[in-house]
Structure 1
Amino acid sequence: MTPITSSTRRLAAYVGVWLIGGCALAGVFVNAELAQWQPALVFALPMAVFLGFVAASAYYVCRSVVLTQRGGFQTVVVFGASSALAALLWALMCHGWNTFGASLLALAGAASPSGVTPSSAVLVAMPRTVAILLLLVAGGLYLISLLIHDIWLAADQLRAAQGREARSLLQARDAQVQMLRTQINPHFLFNSLNSISALTSQDAVAARAMTLELAAFFRQTLAVAEKECIALADEVALCEHFLAVEKIRFGHKLRTDITVSPAANAVLIPPMLLQPCLENAIKHGVRHLVGGGCVTLHAFVQEHWLYVAIDNPVDPDAAPGIGTGTGLANIKKRLGTLYGERARMGWTRHPDRFALEIVLPTQFAP
């Protein structure tokens, strides 16, 4: 089925255009004194519609020889031969209908009350020059139809290719996001289990509490890992379990200050976004300080943007590059994959502290 015949409305409009063309052709015959209006219309209207369907068959010619798989010479040969064949077919139909239509018109005139019958054996007088001109016009119209269908098919192929590319990019993005958001540092689990093992003989109550917090953390991690977005409040609750485990490990060395505005709590963010940032703050900051320090997390909404700031102390004598590598780079890459240029993540190393900022567009659950 061609693009024209695939829709009833489109087909009706297409036939209407060719009928208008048939009326124009009949007017040309009348002005050239080749026929009267009645026989001119009887000839031109059916032949115009027939030429329209012949021109529509160009779709199959273009589809059988794909544009990207043929050369210039092949295009010229195929288009030229098919145009000549279509014009010849239409000319033969015109010749036959010119005689047969006159007979039908004569019979209709004989059956009418007036008894008037046409005196000519043909509908339209057809000198050789007129016949050749009609043949050329038909061939030209078919050639134009070929070019239009060629462009149409090329556009369809381009849209299909773009659709396949978009689906491939989406699948690749989903795979990348899935990989990045499940990159939980295994050292956290190993260190937690080692701490539980050590606490078992020294402080059974602390070991039990650490086990429960660790179980709650991983239970909630599994619950959110398959979701595309979760509320910031759920992410903070997950981080609270993580920090509870770390506070048992580090004792009074680790202090936290978490402040989240009510509006920020409802903002949707990718799961497991803040936990790696807090882990980075502890692993590369508080852990190396004898007296420990306070990790702060502040989140608020301003003008349709979510601002998250994480700050932690660092050892002034430590190398500036420590703690700003793969983990944070993976988070930044994940945000770029999900939000593009709408998200921003940056960090600054000061002499005695490390500051991290994340800015995301606000999204809320429907």
Structure 2
Amino acid sequence: MHPILADPRRLLWYELAWIIAGVGIAALLRLTEQAEWTGALEFAVPLCVVWSFDALSSYYICRSQPYSQRRWPVTLSLFGGASLLSALVWLGLGETWNLLGRWMSHDNRPFVVMNPAGWVMYFAAGFVLYLLALLAHDVLIAFESVQEAARREAESRVLARDAELQMLRTQINPHFLFNSLNSISALTGFDPAAAREMTVDLAQFFRRTLALAERERITLGEEVTLCEHFLAIEKRRFGAKLATELRVSAEAAACLLPPMTLQPLLENAIKHGIRQVDGGGTIAVDALVRDGQLRIAVVNPVAPEDAPAGAHGVGLKNIRERLAVLYGPRAHIAWQRSETQFAIEIHLPVDKESGA
């Protein structure tokens, strides 16, 4: 269906524009002394309202010539021919309406008494008006194309986000869940209170994981709270072998970032670092805002004989790909490994919630 006919508001504005065009034609007829004001208005305004529906055909002509596929000689010929044909219809309609005006009047006078030059001018006006209708519909189609592209992009983003959320839900290491449940089972025999606390932390971790994953972006503070539940569980598993230092500035905590950005880094630090080191060690997290960027650094010990940094693989690769999609070149992630330490640093553009 024609987009103007499908929208009552658009149709109202469209007809108002043609009424204004009718008043303009009436003024032209009056200035050239082809008619009095009353007759010119009675002639031009109803004529423009009726003919406006003929001008709607210009939409389908424009649609038949997509802008990116146009061969301009063909397009110009088509537009010129359509305007000429429409101007002939405009001329015939004008003459018919003028005769009807003679028939309806008491003194047998038409709305306007035009000489041949006046009718030529009237014909030219119809030609120009149809060309303007073609141009207006070209703009309308271009606007619709932009809206459609934006809609498809939004749908693609939604689909990509759904896929990403599904990945986030399945990315949580099943071994973490199994190990946590085993630890809870073991604790119930000699420390029921600790088992209950670990169960609460595990439930809070998964509840917050699913809740935060539903959002496109969260604050770093919310991500840190999630990580605290995760670390509380892991500390009960590893005991004194695992220590953490979380240094997050207030300004950094208010910054927005994609959910599940920091937690996989801590999971990697434990899986590929603390677990492999005999004496364990400390995972240090530093987050601050500097030079207009949110900077997050995670440092953990590694065993000298452990595999090189590339073996951290899938988790870091997923984070890098996600940040590249969301931020492009504005995001930066890098890591390096020494004999006893692994360090990763993420730089993101500073973005905060409105009013923060």
TM-score (ref. length: structure 1): 0.75
What is aligned with 1:247? 235
- Would you say 1:103 and 2:90 are equivalent positions? no
> How is 1:1-366 mapped onto 2 (pairs within 5 angstroms)?
6=10, 11-12=15-16, 14-28=18-32, 30=33, 39-63=35-59, 67-68=63-64, 81-97=85-101, 103=107, 123-124=112-113, 126-127=115-116, 130-131=118-119, 133-134=120-121, 136-182=123-169, 183-197=171-185, 204-205=190-191, 209=194, 212-227=197-212, 228=215, 229-302=217-290, 305-360=293-348, 361-364=350-353, 366=355
Q: Is the 8 A contact 1:253 1:291 kept in 2?
A: yes
Query: How many corresponding residue pairs?
Result: 338
1:295 positional shift = 0.9
Q: Is the 8 A contact 1:299 1:306 kept in 2?
A: yes
1:326 positional shift = 0.9
Separation of aligned partners in 2, 1:268 and 1:122:
69
Q: Is the 8 A contact 1:181 1:273 kept in 2?
A: no
2:226 alignment partner AA: L
Separation of aligned partners in 1, 2:181 and 2:111:
102
1:216 alignment partner AA: D
Q: Out of 16-25 and 282-291, give the one that drifted further.
A: 16-25
| 1:12–1:161 distance in 2 versus 1, CA, 3 Å | closer
1:363 positional shift = 1.4
Q: Is the 8 A contact 1:263 1:301 kept in 2?
A: yes
| 1:210–1:168 distance in 2 versus 1, CA, 3 Å | same
Separation of aligned partners in 2, 1:214 and 1:307:
33
Separation of aligned partners in 2, 1:249 and 1:89:
89
Equivalent position SS for 2:56 = helix
Q: 1:135-189 CA distances to partner (integer Å, 9 max, x unpaired)? A: 6325413531441343144224313422431331232133133124322111111
Q: Is the 8 A contact 1:51 1:138 kept in 2?
A: no
Q: Is the 8 A contact 1:56 1:145 kept in 2?
A: no
Q: Is the 8 A contact 1:43 1:124 kept in 2?
A: no
Equivalent position SS for 1:316 = coil
Equivalent position SS for 1:103 = coil
Q: Is the 8 A contact 1:316 1:352 kept in 2?
A: yes
Long gaps (5+) in structure 1: 106-120
Separation of aligned partners in 1, 2:315 and 2:38:
81
TM-score (ref. length: structure 2): 0.77
Equivalent position SS for 1:325 = helix
| 1:152–1:47 distance in 2 versus 1, CA, 3 Å | farther
Q: Is the 8 A contact 1:26 1:44 kept in 2?
A: yes
1:280 positional shift = 0.2
Separation of aligned partners in 1, 2:289 and 2:123:
71
Equivalent position SS for 1:244 = helix
Equivalent position SS for 2:333 = strand
Long gaps (5+) in structure 2: none
Q: Is the 8 A contact 1:42 1:101 kept in 2?
A: no
Q: Spell out structure 1 runs of 4+ moving beyond 6 A.
A: none
1:284 positional shift = 0.9
Q: Is the 8 A contact 2:18 2:52 kept in 1?
A: no
Separation of aligned partners in 1, 2:135 and 2:222:
56
What is aligned with 1:113? none
2:301 alignment partner AA: P
Separation of aligned partners in 1, 2:63 and 2:131:
15
- Percent identical residues: 32
Separation of aligned partners in 2, 1:242 and 1:331:
18
